[in-house]
Amino acid sequence: MALTQAEVLVGIKEIVEEVAGIPAATIEMDKNFTDDLDVDSLSMVEVVVAAEERFGVKIPDDQVSELATVGDAVNFIVKVSA
Amino acid sequence: MTRRRVVVTGLGATTPLGGDVATTWSALVAGKSGVSTLPYEWAGTLSVTIAAMVAIDPSEVMERVEMRRLDRSEQFALIASREAWKDAGAPEVDKERLGVVIASGIGGVITMLDQYDILKNKGARFVSPHTVPMLMPNGPAANVGLELGARAGVHTPVSACASGAEAIGYAMEMIRSNRADIIMSGGVEAAVHALPMAGFAAMKALSTRNDDPTRASRPYDRDRDGFVLGEGGAMLVLEELEHAKARGAHIYAEIAGQGLTSDGYHIAAPDPEGSGVRRAIAFALLDADLTTRDIVHLNAHATSTPVGDVAEANALRLALGADVDQVAVSATKSMTGHLLGGAGAIESVFIVKALQERLAPPTINIENIDPAVTINVVRDKPRPLPAGEIAALNDSFGFGGHNVVLAFRSY
C-alpha cells in the first residue's frame, strides 16, 4: 500500500531529530538537509538507512545525492512505496 | 639561543573519582576508591567483574546528538579539554601556533565492537557511517583539534599504557622546537567492555578481587593480584613560558624534561633488571637539568601487578640512589584504577596539583607492604611536600616495553 506524503513527513522529521538534533516541529518540506538541518554527507547515510528500515523501501545510493530537501526525500519514498 | 621553556597553564579531567579536576583531586587526597562492580549484563561472563568507571557519565554533561557521533574515548577527550581550555582562560591565540597531542592506548574499541555486533546481527547496510572516525585512535585528538581550530599539528602517540605521558612529552617538544606556542595535551581511554577485559584477564593482568572492589587495586601490598581497569581522560594545556607570561596566564608548574627508552626485553613483562626505567629517569633528569636531590615526589606507574610494582621500585632505587629515600612515592592507581592511555595524563595532572598544593597524594589499600618494596611510599594519608623550589617525576610504562618519564618543576 502506498504511503501518504503526510505520514512519510512525520517519519522523516523524527529521523532527522534523532540524527541531527533538530526539533521535529521546525522541519518542513522545503528544508535543505545540508544547509538548514546540519545533516552532512555521513549523517545523510544514517537518515537514508533509518528511512529504509522505517518505510520498508529501498533508496539506491545513486539517488541519495538527488535528495537535497526534506520534500525530495518524502516524495521519493512515497513514489517508490506505490 | 636559550631553550624555550614550557609551562602548564590549564588542567582538565574526567575520572573515576570525579567529573573535573577539583572533584577528582579532593577524592584523591581523601583516599577514596573509584572502583566498583560492573553494572553491565556481560560482566557475568567474565572472571573479572570490577572496574573504575567515570564518576560522571558523559551523558550528564553532553548533548545526545553530539554523543552519538563520538566514541566514548572522544567524549572523554572533549569533556576534559573543554575544562582545561576554560581553566587556561580560553585565550584567543594564533591557531597556526596552537596544537593538540592526545593519546589513547586502544582507540575506539567500544565503537568497533558495537558496530561489529550490528554488522553480524543486522547487516553491513546498518553499520554507522561514523564508525571509522569514531574508532580511529587519533579520533580524540582530531575532535579536540577541530573544536579548538588547531592548525599547528594534531598528533596521537601510541605506546599502550605510556601513551598519555608520551603525548605530553611530545607536546613539550613541539613547543621547544618552535612548532607551536600552546598545546592541548593528554590521554584518554574507554575500554571497559567485555572483549578488552577478557583479553587482559586472559593475561592474568587483572585483579580478581571481585568481592571487594574498593580494595582490589593495592600497589605495593603483599597480596596484590593485578590491576583494575579504569576509564576516563585528562588534559594539560602546555604553553611556552613567555607566551603564557605575556597574556597573564596562571602558571601551575613547569614541565622541565622527559626521558624515553624501550626495554627490548618482552612484549608484556617488565625487565626485572629495570634498565629501561633507570635510563629513562636518568635522561629525564638530564633533559630537565635536575639532579636526584631535587626530586621530592614521584607518581609511580605501580599498577598493582605482582611483578611490575617491584621491578619499578628496584629501578627507582637504581636510578635515584640513596636520594630515593627522600622521594615521596604515590601510587594513585590504587584509587583511579588503571586508565591505560589516560594514565600518564591523569597522573601528570596529579603531579602538577601536588607541586602546587605541596601535597603528595596517598596510596591506599596497603595492608602489609611487600618486603621487596624498599622505597618511601606515601601510605593511607597525603604527605606534605617541602616549600621552595621542588621537582617531581611521573613514571609511565606500556606493554611493548615503552618507558616514559616526565619531569615537572614548581613555578
Express each pLDDT in B265-304 by its tens digit: 999 999 988 999 999 999 999 999 999 999 999 999 999 9
Sorted by where each begins, the domain ranges of chain B are 7-246, 256-410
Residue B25 pLDDT: 98
pLDDT digits (tens, 9 = 90+) for B32-65: 999 999 999 999 999 999 999 999 999 999 999 9
B86: cell is 576554560
| Cβ-contact B175, B6 below 8 angstroms | yes
- The pLDDT value recorded for residue B2 is 81
For residue B406, what is the enclosing H or E element?
Answer: strand B402-410
Nearest 5°: the CA angle B234, B236, B239 is: 165
Query: Cell numbers of B280, please?
Result: 629513562
Determine the Cα–Cα distance for residues B200 and B198; give it in Å rounded to an integer. Answer: 6
Q: Under an 8 A CB cutoff, do A42 and B126 touch?
A: no
Grid-cell match 618486603, residue found: B371
Please write the tens of the pLDDT for every residue from A27-78. 999 999 999 999 999 999 999 999 999 999 999 999 999 999 999 999 999 9
Q: Looking at residue B70, what DSSP letter applies? A: S
Instruction: State whether CATH 3.40.47.10 applies to domain B256-410.
Output: yes
Residue B369: CB partners within 8 Å, gap ≥ 6?
Answer: B220, B221, B222, B377, B379
* Identity of the residue numbered B184: M
Question: Of B144, B170, B153, B178, nearest to B74 (Cα)?
Answer: B144
Across B331-338, average pLDDT: 98
Tell me the C-alpha distance between B186 and B188, whole Å. 7
The mean pLDDT value of chain B amounts to 97
- What number of residues does chain A have? 82
Residue B1: per-residue pLDDT? 60
> Is B64 close to A21, i.e. CB distance below 8 A?
yes
What percent of chain B lies above the pLDDT cut of 70?
100
Q: Do B130 and A42 touch (CB under 8 A)?
A: yes
- Residue B301 appears among annotated catalytic residues: yes
Within 8 A of B126 by CB-CB distance, chain A residues are 49, 53
- In this chain, the answer to whether the domains covering B7-246 and B256-410 adopt an identical fold is yes
Contact between B129 and A45 using a beta-carbon 8 Å cutoff? yes
**Would residue B64 be called left, alpha or beta, if left means φ above 0 and alpha means ψ between -120 and 50 degrees?**
alpha
- Whether the pLDDT of residue B105 is over 70: the answer is yes
State yes or no: pLDDT of B253 exceeds 80: yes
| Mean pLDDT computed over B236-249 | 98
DSSP B216: T
- Nearest partner of A73 among A22, A13, A19, judged by Cα: A13
Which ipTM value was assigned to this complex? 0.87
State the pLDDT at residue B107: 97
Query: Over 80: is that where the pLDDT of B231 sits?
Result: yes
Checking if the pLDDT of A79 tops 70, the result is yes
Tens digit of pLDDT for each residue in B305-330?
999 999 999 999 999 999 999 999 99
Residue B158 confidence (pLDDT) above 80: yes
Mean pLDDT across B162-175: 98
Provide, rounded to the nearest whole percent, the portion of chain B with pLDDT above 90: 98
Contacts 24+ apart (CB under 8 A), B53-62: B53/B16, B53/B192, B53/B230, B53/B231, B54/B14, B54/B15, B54/B16, B54/B19, B54/B231, B54/B232, B55/B14, B55/B15, B55/B16, B55/B17, B55/B18, B55/B19, B55/B23, B55/B24, B56/B14, B56/B18, B56/B19, B58/B14, B60/B19, B61/B19
Question: A49 CB near a chain B CB, below 8 Å?
Answer: yes
Catalytic one of B155, B243, B297, B338: B338
Looking at residue B227, the DSSP 8-state letter turns out to be B
Q: Per the residue annotation, which of A35, A40, A61, A62 is the catalytic one?
A: A40
Q: How many other CB atoms are found less than 10 A from the CB of residue B22?
A: 14
Give B358-369 pLDDT, tens digit per residue.
999 999 999 999
Query: What domains are there in chain A, each with its CATH number?
Result: 5-81 (1.10.1200.10)
The domain B7-246 is placed in CATH, from the list 1.10.40.50, 3.20.20.140, 3.40.50.1980, 3.40.47.10, at 3.40.47.10
pLDDT tens-digit series, residues A57-66 = 999 999 999 9
For residue A1, what pLDDT is reported?
67
Q: How many C-beta atoms surround the C-beta of residue B139 within 10 A?
A: 25
C-alpha cell at B71: 566514541
Q: Which three cell numbers stand for residue B128?
A: 554507522
> Residue A82: its pLDDT value, please?
82
Task: Inform me whether the C-beta atom of residue A19 falls under 8 Å from chain B C-beta atoms.
Answer: yes
Q: From A43, which residue of chain B is nearest by alpha-carbon distance?
A: B129
